[in-house]
A and B are shown apart, each in its own frame.
Chain A
Amino acid sequence: MLRQVEGSKAVAAAVAACRPQVICAYPISPQTHIVEELSRLVKAGELTGCEYVNVESEFAAMSGAIGASAVGARSYTATSSQGLLYMVEAVYNASGMGMPIVMTVANRAIGAPINIWNDHGDTMSQRDSGWIQLYASSNQEAADLHPQAFAIAEELSVPVMVCMDGFVLTHATEGIDVLDAAGVDAFLPPFEPRQLLDPDEPVSIGSMVGPDAFTEVRYLAHLRQLEALEVIPRVAEQFAARFGRDSGGLLRAYRTEGAETVVVALGSVFGTLQDVVDAERDEGVRVGLLGVTSFRPFPYAALAAALAGARRVVVIERALAVGAGGIVSGDVRLALAGTGIDQRTVIAGLGGRPVTTTSLRELLGRAVRGELPGLTFLDLDTAVVERELARLHPSARKVPS
């Protein structure tokens, strides 16, 4: 049954339905509503058997989750932006030790300049951290991804980040089918850890590994992520069978059949792009949309298959690799290597700038006409840039178009 509920609260309910045993909480916007709601659920006795720990930093939050996971407790935390960066050392440590922690990241820009609004700069910085990264295209999917994330994490002993756009999703109230424990119990089995810090069978976890075995440890982690390429769609199918909803998986295709131009995107802009594709299709323009749900592991083969019929691909990215351009684009390029499919990158929505249907339709028009350069910054205010450049370099420099 659909309920009008804020995205954060739907996610908190979904997390609670997964019966986490330890939650380490530290506030940061725009994630805070999630841990606030979980705090309430624990205090109110609606989430039982759970230790809710208010820690002193995100670094401690992830460290606490590591400790709890090591003794076999299902562990959860949530963060955003600077908080994710503050815990980075522990983020890598969690994946290195194979702790199946689930963390929600309410995507937010990274400063300086400080900015609390949405983009994907935070989680993209953790691209190579060894975590599985799943991006939610809607609040329903954000909620649904949590039981799936625990299932995937615990089957593979790999931590999973569920990435949902800050404010755009976390603070949006809409009709959501809110998960409950009774429903999730039938989907998500209890946590059975692969290794356990246990006085009855003492083991040493986290020993120092030298050049003789370090490559092998990393290679095995890589293999587990490749295995996830099979586990993620299977878990999504199981979820669909149980809940009747198509959430999760590797990719999300929308009207790609017969599309000459396909837009590739991550996160909530998928919804806006659906409207754009509908409008273009109504006018006979053959465009389609492909959402990337699983960014790590990256589904190279599935993406190549999904784009096989396209002539051109436009990758819309909510993050920027300064000095290089797109981040997701590099993976798409690898997936499409040798196909001859034209590929363009668009940087959009940095620091919460709205990505509007008007701008996207204008952009798609240029793409279809072959007028789009390799790298475009959507809605860039060139007057501001020109003025600043003129101030810095009085010898008048033009902004590259």
Chain B
Amino acid sequence: MSATPVKFYQVGSFAVGNRLLDPELRSAQSEQDRANSLTSGHRACQGCGEALGARYVLDAAMRASGGRMVTVNATGCLEVFSTPFPETSWRVAWLHSLFGNAPAVATGVAAGLRATGKQDVRVVAQGGDGATVDIGFACLSGMFERNDDVLAVCYDNGGYMNTGVQRSGATPPAARTMTTQAVGEHPGNAFGQGKDVPRIAMAHEIPYVATATVADLRDLEAKVEKAMGMHGARYLHVLVPCPLGWGSAAKDTVRIARLATESGYFPVFEAERGEVTSVRPIRHQVPVEEYLALQNRYAHLFSPVRRDDVIDRLQAMADRNIARYGLLEEAHS
């Protein structure tokens, strides 16, 4: 496909030092002929982590596949803000079917491409956490189990944001949503619930599972590139802050994602065939509280009464991640 001229306001990391790197180390976003897979003019909120994540994921996947790629999108914010008929922001071949079936549609796409002799065309399925960990989970697990040649990407903003911020199986404990409101003795989402889908994906022993955030876009790109270099079922779980749902400032999206990883609350790692192969070590550890304090979905933990009991439980979750993945150890990859 022909390249889209890069617009000035869209330069991304092109402007911040990539030019000083060797060409093979430069970000996909630094290339003037990048795919612009999700191009400007879409209707995402200011500071949308998902839009940022999707642009980097797909441009990196386009680069890795030489533009030989099709995308399947679940229903959700990403679909709604990008394709209000007759407009589209997608410059990749893109198919939206339903909320809960993107992995299964992608299975069919991969099978159809094989059957029609287009094995070189790669398949990326993407959706939010509702589409991935809840309503589409059976299709996701089925796709993993068959080891279909699909990269499934979950943009995890911890809730059903498109429908107005309701709880999903990825909503963290204590977070308020419209269906886990900050009222009563145990305000916000309950503890002891929720799915750790990256680890569930690992249990399928698929070739590749990775987590990433929009705070480290080079890491995200590198993981997409690595995933696209493999065949079979691959899973990428990307933490994407949502200013609307999280009650955070649009300017803080990247900052909050960084605090999520630097506190250990969101572990960033890679796994192959069910075994963790690398982790992103914490560089400057921060208490979870710093991550929580920037988000109104946790405001009830600080006011009118400070809930140290709840904050401590959330810190314990981060500590457990740090221990489980060795996030404070020297990098071992």
| A interface with B by C-beta (< 8 Å) | 21-22, 24, 49-51, 53-57, 59-60, 63-73, 75, 89-90, 93, 97, 197-210, 213
Which residue of B is nearest A202, CB measured? Answer: B93
Contact assessment for A71 and B112 in the assembled complex, using a CB-CB cutoff below 8 Å: yes
| B interface with A by C-beta (< 8 Å) | 1, 67-70, 72-73, 79-80, 83-86, 88, 90-98, 100-101, 104-116, 118, 121, 138-139, 141-142, 145-146
Contact assessment for A208 and B104 in the assembled complex, using a CB-CB cutoff below 8 Å: no
**Selected contact of B1 from candidates A66, A197, A199, A206, CB within 8 Å:** A199
Which residue of B is nearest A54, CB measured? Answer: B146
Closest 3 CB pairs of A and B: A67-B108, A56-B142, A64-B108
Contact assessment for A199 and B139 in the assembled complex, using a CB-CB cutoff below 8 Å: no
- A-B CB contact pairs (8 Å), 22 listed: A51-B111, A51-B115, A53-B108, A55-B142, A56-B104, A56-B142, A59-B101, A60-B101, A60-B138, A60-B139, A63-B98, A67-B109, A69-B112, A71-B70, A71-B113, A197-B70, A197-B93, A198-B70, A199-B1, A205-B94, A207-B88, A208-B84
Query: Which residues of A sit under 8 angstroms from B116, Cβ to Cβ?
Result: 21, 71-73
Query: Which residues of B sit under 8 angstroms from A89, Cβ to Cβ?
Result: 98, 100-101
Which residue of B is nearest A92, CB measured? Answer: B98
Known: A199-B1, A208-B83. A70 touches B101 (CB 8 A): no
Contact assessment for B95 and A63 in the assembled complex, using a CB-CB cutoff below 8 Å: no
Contact assessment for B98 and A68 in the assembled complex, using a CB-CB cutoff below 8 Å: no
A-B contact count (CB 8 A): 164
Known: A24-B108, A59-B104. A71 touches B118 (CB 8 A): yes
**Selected contact of B94 from candidates A63, A93, A202, CB within 8 Å:** A202
Query: Which residues of B sit under 8 angstroms from A207, Cβ to Cβ?
Result: 83-86, 88, 96
- Give the docked Cα–Cα distance between A97 and B141 (Å): 25
- Give the docked Cα–Cα distance between A206 and B90 (Å): 12
Known: A60-B139, A202-B1. A68 touches B115 (CB 8 A): yes
Min C-beta distance of B170 to chain A, whole Å: 21
Query: Which residues of A sit under 8 angstroms from B142, Cβ to Cβ?
Result: 55-57, 60
Contact assessment for A57 and B138 in the assembled complex, using a CB-CB cutoff below 8 Å: yes
- Give the docked Cα–Cα distance between A50 and B114 (Å): 9
Min C-beta distance of B74 to chain A, whole Å: 11
- Give the docked Cα–Cα distance between A24 and B94 (Å): 22
Known: A63-B105, A207-B85. A199 touches B112 (CB 8 A): no
Min C-beta distance of B198 to chain A, whole Å: 20
Contact assessment for B96 and A65 in the assembled complex, using a CB-CB cutoff below 8 Å: no
Min C-beta distance of A400 to chain B, whole Å: 42
Q: A67-B110, A199-B92 are in contact. List 8 more A-B contacts (CB 8 A).
A: A21-B116, A60-B107, A63-B139, A64-B108, A67-B111, A68-B108, A73-B115, A198-B93
**Selected contact of B115 from candidates A50, A63, A210, CB within 8 Å:** A50
Query: Which residues of B sit under 8 angstroms from A213, Cβ to Cβ?
Result: 85-86
- Give the docked Cα–Cα distance between A304 and B193 (Å): 61
Contact assessment for A64 and B107 in the assembled complex, using a CB-CB cutoff below 8 Å: yes
Which residue of B is nearest A203, CB measured? Answer: B93
- Give the docked Cα–Cα distance between A225 and B1 (Å): 36
Query: Which residues of B sit under 8 angstroms from A205, Cβ to Cβ?
Result: 94-96
- Give the docked Cα–Cα distance between A209 and B96 (Å): 12
Contact assessment for A67 and B97 in the assembled complex, using a CB-CB cutoff below 8 Å: yes
Known: A51-B112, A71-B113, A199-B121. A64 touches B104 (CB 8 A): yes
Contact assessment for A22 and B115 in the assembled complex, using a CB-CB cutoff below 8 Å: yes
- Give the docked Cα–Cα distance between A70 and B109 (Å): 7
Contact assessment for A210 and B146 in the assembled complex, using a CB-CB cutoff below 8 Å: no
Which residue of A is nearest B1, CB measured? Answer: A202
Query: Which residues of A sit under 8 angstroms from B109, Cβ to Cβ?
Result: 67-68, 70-71, 197
Query: Which residues of A sit under 8 angstroms from B121, Cβ to Cβ?
Result: 71, 199
- Give the docked Cα–Cα distance between A72 and B115 (Å): 9
- Give the docked Cα–Cα distance between A164 and B324 (Å): 56
Min C-beta distance of B86 to chain A, whole Å: 8
Min C-beta distance of A225 to chain B, whole Å: 21
Contact assessment for A65 and B108 in the assembled complex, using a CB-CB cutoff below 8 Å: yes
- Give the docked Cα–Cα distance between A274 and B163 (Å): 55
Query: Which residues of B sit under 8 angstroms from A93, Cβ to Cβ?
Result: 97-98
- Give the docked Cα–Cα distance between A51 and B118 (Å): 13
Known: A56-B145, A199-B93, A202-B91. A210 touches B112 (CB 8 A): no
Known: A204-B83, A208-B84. A64 touches B111 (CB 8 A): yes
Contact assessment for A66 and B84 in the assembled complex, using a CB-CB cutoff below 8 Å: no
Min C-beta distance of B49 to chain A, whole Å: 21
Min C-beta distance of B99 to chain A, whole Å: 8
Contact assessment for B108 and A202 in the assembled complex, using a CB-CB cutoff below 8 Å: no
Min C-beta distance of A51 to chain B, whole Å: 4
Which residue of A is nearest B107, CB measured? Answer: A64
